[in-house]
């Protein structure tokens, strides 16, 4: 469960650019880290010492007004407890391009055969 989430300063700049200029960088990556530190608008990347990033193709639903990320994460992909999740421009250029950082309840894999199906939805209601 997500405990707190913050749109970062760079994320806010991106939203303003989209509203004023009609241009913005796309959101196409999700990152996982092990920091439980409360998120801040000044965060530029995940804060944990362990990080894992993956490029995804999000589902953009303009009619309903949301972006959805789906991913299945294996215990073989990641070898640390997940405490933070970030949404980024892309997985190879993360620092300074984090749109949102969230802190969650600890997600812990029990053995190498464990899987976690993740759906993140950003939208307006």
Question: pLDDT tens digits, residue range 14-60?
Answer: 888 888 887 878 888 999 999 999 999 999 999 999 999 999 988 88
d(CA 74, CA 93): 23
Q: Domain total for the chain?
A: 1
pTM: 0.89
Q: Is 14 left (phi over 0), alpha (psi -120 to 50) or beta?
A: alpha
- Kindly tell me if the per-residue pLDDT of 10 is higher than 70: yes
pLDDT in tens, 68-124: 989 998 888 898 999 999 999 889 888 888 999 999 999 998 888 888 888 888 886
Domain hosting 60: range is 2-123
Count Cα neighbours of 39 within 13 Å in the Cβ-side half-sphere.
Answer: 26
Evaluate whether 102 touches 5 at the Cβ level (below 8 Å). Answer: yes
């Amino acid at each position: 469960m997500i405990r707190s989430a913050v749109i970062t300063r760079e994320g806010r700049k991106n939203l303003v650019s989209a509203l004023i200029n009609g241009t913005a960088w796309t959101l196409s990556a999700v990152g996982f880290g092990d920091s439980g530190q409360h998120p801040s608008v000044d965060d530029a990347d995940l804060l944990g010492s362990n990080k894992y990033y993956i490029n995804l193709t999000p589902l953009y639903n303009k009619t309903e007004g949301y972006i959805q990320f789906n991913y299945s994460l294996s215990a073989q992909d990641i070898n640390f407890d997940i405490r933070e999740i970030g949404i980024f421009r892309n997985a190879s250029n993360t620092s300074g391009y984090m749109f949102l950082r969230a802190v969650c309840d600890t997600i812990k894999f029990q053995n190498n055969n464990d899987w976690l199906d993740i759906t993140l939805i950003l939208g307006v209601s």
